[in-house]
Amino acid sequence: MKRSIRYLAGTVFLLLTPPAIAQTTPTEEPRTPAVTTPRRENPKAPVPGQNSFTEDQAKERLTENGFTSVMNLQLGEDGVWRADAARHGQPVKVLLDFQGNITTQ
Instruction: Please state the pTM of the whole predicted model.
Output: 0.61
pLDDT of residue 43: 77
98 within 8 A of 79, measured Cβ to Cβ: yes
| β-bridge mates for residue 91, sequence order | 86
Q: Determine the distance from the C-alpha atom of residue 40 to the mean position of all C-alpha atoms in its chain, rounded to a whole number.
A: 12
Grouping H, G, I as helix, E, B as strand and the rest as coil, residue 15 is helix
List the chain domain ranges. Answer: 45-105
43 within 8 A of 30, measured Cβ to Cβ: yes
Q: What is the mean pLDDT of each run of 10 residues along the chain (105 residues)?
A: 60 61 56 56 82 94 96 96 96 94 92
Verify cis geometry, omega within 30 degrees of 0, for the bond prior to 26: no
Q: Is the dihedral of CA 40, 45, 46, 50 positive or negative?
A: negative
pLDDT of residue 34: 56
